[in-house]
Amino acid sequence: MTAAAVIVAAGRGTRAGGHLPKQWQMLLGQPILVHTLSVFRDHPAITQIVLVLHVDDMSRSETPPGVVIVAGGADRATSVRNGLAATEGAQHVLIHDVARPLVTHRTISDVLAALKDAPGAAPALAVTDALWTGADGRVTGTRDRDGLFRAQTPQGFDRAAIMAAHAAHPGGAADDVEVARAYGLDVTIVPGDEENLKITHPADFARAERIMRGRDGH
């Protein structure tokens, strides 16, 4: 099965610190964005990559050739819709956060395989920690963790179905799975990967570099 990939990179990522949006910050000598794109470029089932950038980043030169670049919107949903509109000839599409540069070919392939039997599929990890509620620095209660998962990307869909789902959604969704489910689409859970972290805070850069060095053997 083949698919187009939409890489969402239009956010500003202020929680990550630094003087640049996190997708342009360096990770082992290259911007995070370049690492993320390379994983999808090297996967044999990905036929097209659409990169959604902030309008202020459209002229940056770090983007590899062969990638379709489109401008994002005022929120993530608009950026995703702009990216989906630029995909061509693909029955399936994977939507991925640029801040997850450690995604593997195995995860991409697992999502694609699940799309053979469902209109949507996404990787996730079962919650294993105890869950608390809290306020003012104190624990106020607990929550049952049974049936709870930590969502990851790429989230894959039938292209026509997810475009229709986004067109019908009022906005404010946490991710594209929420958009899909609101439209009535079934989404299959595939195994997530603890190393497929989303770089969010300054400490995540060091953790990502340790994982990358471990994979390279040095």
Residues paired with 138 in a beta bridge: 135
> Which amino acid, 68?
V
Q: What is the mean pLDDT of residues 112-140?
A: 98
Residues paired with 69 in a beta bridge: 51
pLDDT tens-digit series, residues 84-114:
999 988 999 999 999 999 999 999 999 999 9
Full set of structural domains in the chain with CATH: 3-216 (3.90.550.10)
pLDDT tens-digit series, residues 145-173:
999 999 999 999 999 999 999 999 999 99
> Which amino acid, 25?
Q
pLDDT of the residue at 216: 74
pLDDT tens-digit series, residues 188-202:
999 999 999 999 999
pLDDT at residue 15 above 70? Answer: no
pLDDT at residue 135 above 90? Answer: yes
